[in-house]
Amino acid sequence: MLIRDGLRFDADKGGAGSGAGGTDTVTPPAFEWATSGLPADDLAFVTEKGWKTVADQTHSYRSLEKLVGVPPERIVKLPTEKDGPDAWNAVYDRLGRPKEAKDYQIPLPAGDPGDFAKAVAPIFHKAGLSQAQVKALAEGVNAHVMADTQRRQTDAAAKHDAEIEVLKKEWGNQYEKNEVIVDTAGKVFGMSVEQITALKRAMGPRDAMRFLYNIGSKISTEGKFVTGDTPQGFDTMTPEQAQAKIQVNTHDKAFIAQYNSADPKVRADTQAEMRRLNQIAFPGESAG
């Protein structure tokens, strides 16, 4: 075997490192990173990675690109604790946070004036939420609130109906008459429908109606509203109170019987009362 110019020749086989087919075999020299001109820090990094050749380095980089899947300029570098909280602003902006809190487009439920959305927008912005995140959050909350409101309304309606059924059993065939008395009491005290509804909501419809009935029942068949020991006669009744009293009388079987009584005096007194009520209830109109 001969050595020439760093190549090995096998004299017996007639060629430089020839194999069975006479092809030369050359063993390349090992790659030396130390002589590649890399700075010391880079050489330390190469050693840490265990790269033996440039091919190792190239393969590693291509694998990294496949793993990341995006160009380097689209990679977001997350701040560390030493960077401080303000360093996150750049990250939030790149992830889709609007420039200012007022720029959020927050979905609102029907009838919502948007006051709450304006109040929470700065909180969303400080937390770094993107427009897409805020939209998803608002839509989810709106759907939950709507479903919860519907459930509460359904439960309230069921409870109301159940209590009314109990009251109907308690009052029996006097329910409709007593209901008029309840409405009369509310009108006498100048309560609106909304206020009566609020009272029923606060006390429960059964207790509220019994409370108003106890007041309304103090309106006597003579047309006087008793408060303590001091009566208020027709002269101090308002048109609304007179109208309410007319409603009570027309649903009172005893009053109707007196109105149509065979006794002339009873009939005349009862009809006179209704004429007087109509004069107060409808001032300026002729009494029938």
Instruction: Identify the sign of the CA torsion 124, 129, 135, 139.
Output: negative
138 within 8 A of 123, measured Cβ to Cβ:
no
First to last CA, the chain: 145
Tokens of 266: 């009873």
pLDDT at residue number 227: 39
* Structural element, H or E, at residue 3: strand 2-4
* Same-domain pairing of 172 and 71: no
pLDDT at residue number 223: 47
Q: What's the predicted TM-score (pTM) here?
A: 0.48
What is the three-class DSSP state of 231?
Answer: strand
* Same-domain pairing of 205 and 264: yes
pLDDT at residue number 230: 37
* Same-domain pairing of 24 and 53: no
* Structural element, H or E, at residue 125: helix 115-127
Number of compact structural domains in the chain: 3
* Same-domain pairing of 178 and 274: yes
DSSP letter at 75 equals P
Q: Report how far residue 105's alpha carbon sits from residue 47's, in angstroms, rounded to the nearest whole number.
A: 52
- What residue has token string 């690109």? 65
DSSP letter at 165 equals H
Tokens of 257: 């019987």
Is position 186 within any domain? yes
Q: Report how far residue 101's alpha carbon sits from residue 118's, in angstroms, rounded to the nearest whole number.
A: 9
* Same-domain pairing of 24 and 45: no
- Which residues make Cβ contacts (< 8 Å) with residue 278, sequence separation at least 6? 242, 246, 285, 287, 288
Q: Report how far residue 83's alpha carbon sits from residue 255's, in angstroms, rounded to the nearest whole number.
A: 88
Is position 274 within any domain? yes
- Which residues make Cβ contacts (< 8 Å) with residue 104, sequence separation at least 6? 98, 117, 121, 124, 125, 131, 134
pLDDT at residue number 141: 93
Is position 197 within any domain? yes
pLDDT tens per residue across span 117-145: 999 999 999 999 999 999 999 999 999 99
* Same-domain pairing of 169 and 239: yes
* Same-domain pairing of 173 and 209: yes
Is position 242 within any domain? yes
Q: Which residues pair with 225 in a beta bridge?
A: 219, 232
Is position 152 within any domain? no
* Same-domain pairing of 234 and 277: yes
Is position 202 within any domain? yes
Q: Report how far residue 273's alpha carbon sits from residue 281's, in angstroms, rounded to the nearest whole number.
A: 12
Which segments of the chain have a pLDDT < 70?
Answer: 1-30, 68-74, 218-237, 285-288
* Same-domain pairing of 267 and 167: yes
* Same-domain pairing of 210 and 231: yes
* Same-domain pairing of 197 and 234: yes
Residue type, 157: A
pLDDT at residue number 98: 95
Mode of pairing for the β-strands spanning 2-4 and 7-9: antiparallel
pLDDT at residue number 247: 85
pLDDT at residue number 137: 95
Q: Which segments within 109-206 are labelled E, that is strand?
A: none
Q: Round the CA-based radius of gyration of the chain to a whole number and report it.
A: 47
Is position 113 within any domain? no
**What is the torsion angle, in degrees rounded to the nearest 10, for the CA atoms of residue 76, residue 77, residue 82 and residue 87?**
-30
What phi and psi values does residue 219 have, to the nearest 5 degrees? Answer: -80, 110
- Which of the listed residues 40, 59, 75 is the one where a domain comes to its end? 75
* Same-domain pairing of 168 and 71: no
Is position 226 within any domain? yes
* Helices of type H across 191-263: 193-203, 205-216, 239-250, 253-259
- Which of the listed residues 44, 75, 106 is the one where a domain comes to its end? 75
pLDDT at residue number 248: 83
Q: For residue 10, what are the domain limits?
A: 1-29
